[in-house]
Structure 1
Amino acid sequence: MSSNLVYLWEHRERPKVLSPAWSKSWAKRVLHLRALLRANWRRAKLEAAGVQLGPMTEIGELKLNGPGRNLFIGAECAIVGEVRIALHAPVRIGDRVVINDGVRILTGEHDVCDPAWRMTAAPIRIEDYAWVAEGAIILPGVRIGKGAVVGAGAVVTKDVPDFAIAVDNPARILDKKRCTRFRYSPVRFLATYEAWLGH
């Protein structure tokens, strides 16, 4: 049994047996079992490729270019839809991070001033509770701070500070900041996991 399934079983919501809440939770668990097994199959394939995954992380369609050992994803992250990551250098994603469909994380680039057009690579770090919205591009060497938001379609060429909001191409930091205290887990919003863990 995978670590996610063990985690869900050990931390499952336990309403009184045969109560309406018990019947409802088990009906939802059966209904979403197929999706849960598919999610665990995707997880197992990534782990077999060397990717390090924290517990309760939901992975959509993750396309990797480079060695899986260069990727670490923390606990309770939601990587939704198709996300592409170039692993020419390490990528470290913290806990409870959301990365939406169409995001590209690039650790390598070619030096256009180099006559040999050599590639350079630099690691990327995305801290806890960050949210990288649909279609954003993160370029080599960037750090996305704790709780920071990268807006849809933004192209991030420089670090985004903790709790900052970055938008546009190239990304610029808005005056507005995100809240600094969090108490949510993005995977608990997904029906597959909510069926086991409750609200």
Structure 2
Amino acid sequence: MILEGVDSRTGPSFSMSNRLARGLWGVVWLTLFRPSPRPLHAWRVALLKLFGASIGTHFHIHASARIWAPWQFEAGDHVGVGEGVSFYNMARLTIGDNVVISQGAHLCGGTHDYNAANFQLRAAPIHIGERAWVCTEAFIGPGVTVPPGCVVGARAVMMRTPVEGAWGVYAGNPAVRVKSRVIRDA
């Protein structure tokens, strides 16, 4: 999908078919997805599925959320996506069951090789494990796996998969584990 050997500062980084598909999706997002009323989650899911997204049951996504390439998007059951979330998924982006992605979070699957003379574009998949919570305005970088049950705190920046493992609370820039997450009975 990414063109190799192209100077990404002056030329296209993606094939014509990819750019056309994203252009068509952009028109659909702008005219049918974005203006849809707040409770029409099923309508937005149908549009995403029309463009190749794989989405489970009880998926709620707000109209202001952006998905760069729906055909590279997969989400499980009982997932909530808040207002203004940005899924810049140049590579596969998967979200497990029972996940919340809060307002303004940015999941970015692309970067550039800043040592390459042509500033080559690179993409890597992102995976959000089940029962995770990506809080308000958090940033998840390319190639990151958020382990199951983890909380990525508000405005935290997670550029690497944490080695400390699942069920942790991560905060800061760069995000570090600040404590464990323990689920209590309600």
TM-score bucket of the superposed structures, by smaller chain:
0.7 to 0.9
Partners of 2:116 and 2:142 lie apart in 1 by 17
Does the 8 Å CA contact 2:109/2:126 hold for their aligned counterparts?
yes
In structure 2, distance between residues paired with 1:182 and 1:99: 21
Report how far residue 62 of structure 1 moved.
2.2
Gap change, CA 1:124 and 1:103, over 3 Å in 2: same
Whole-Å Cα distance in 1 between the matches of residues 184 and 97 of structure 2?
12
CA distance in 2, matches of 1:65, 1:183: 37
Partner of 2:91: 89
Q: Does structure 1 residue 63 correspond to structure 2 residue 102?
A: no
Distance 1:159 1:182 in 2: 26
Residue 35 of structure 1: how far off its partner (Å): 5.1
| Higher RCO structure (Cα 8 Å, ≥6 apart) | 1
Displacement of 1:100 in angstroms is 0.4
Q: Unaligned stretches of 5+ in structure 2?
A: 1-36
**Corresponding position of 1:163:** 167
* Number of residue equivalences: 147
* Aligned match for 1:119, one of 118, 121, 130: 121
**Whose helix fraction is larger, Structure 1's or Structure 2's?**
1
Gaps of 5+ in 1: 1-33, 185-199
In structure 2, C-alpha distance between the alignment counterparts of 1:72 and 1:164, rounded to whole Å: 23
Give the 3-state SS of the residue equivalent to 1:81 in structure 2.
coil
Identity of aligned residues (%): 31
The higher radius of gyration belongs to 1
Q: Structure 2 length as normaliser, TM-score?
A: 0.74
Tell me how large the CA RMSD over aligned residues is.
1.7
Code of the residue aligned with 1:62 in structure 2: it is: A
Amino acid at match of 2:55: L
Runs of 4+ in 1 over 3 A off after TM superposition: 181-184
Q: Which amino acid aligns with 2:173?
A: N
Q: What is the identity, as a one-letter code, of the residue corresponding to 1:63?
A: R
Q: Partner of 1:24 in structure 2? A: none
